[in-house]
Amino acid sequence: MKSCCCEIGDSKDCTSVCKECSNTGKPVMEITLKSMVKKPVLEAIGNPEGFYCCETPTCEVVYFNNEQQVYLHKQDVKVRVGIKETENPVPVCYCFGWTQKKIFDQVMQQGHSTAVREISAKIKAGECACEIKNPSGRCCLGSVNKVVKRGLKLYGNK
Ligand SMILES: [Zn+2]
């Protein structure tokens, strides 16, 4: 049996726990949900408010809402969710089209990646649209940094 915080009577926290993996999700904005979820699925959901995003790589759930008892999976979402994919393409930055492969290829060829610098410059220029392009609705720089670091570890010069 999976443990649930409901059992200890904390119903507030429970709304943010993904029932399929028991991990806590992150709140997702209505605008993100509306632009990420496939139209027929979205129409079937009455109210796009109060959803959470499950970020467990092995969990098939992308968005969930325990109050409405709605669970949306990878196939309900328009884009590939990078964090839940292990085969190419694994999207990392949705606004400017960076994939894990593109970053790894750069590291292999040049010994470093320009991803963070290029993305930061575009964010400064106000060109990013994470809230409607990234399934998490948040800025991708954190995950880009992680992928670059992983790339350096795997393919960089030691
Ligand atoms: Zn989950």
pLDDT at position 32: 96
**Residue appearing with tokens 């632009």:** 35
DSSP string, 82-146: GGG--SS--EEETTTTEEHHHHHHHHHHHSS--HHHHHHHHHHTT---HHHHSTT-S-SHHHHHH
Considering the entire predicted model, what is its pTM? Answer: 0.85
pLDDT at 1: 41
CA of 25 to the centre of ligand 1 (A): 7
In the chain the domains, ranked by start, together with CATH numbers, are 7-76 (2.20.25.270), 82-155 (1.10.10.1100)
CA of residue 40 to ligand 1 center, whole Å? 22
C-alpha of residue 124 to centroid of ligand 1, in Å: 33
Residue 105 has pLDDT above 90, yes or no: yes
- How confident is the model at residue 42, as a pLDDT? 96
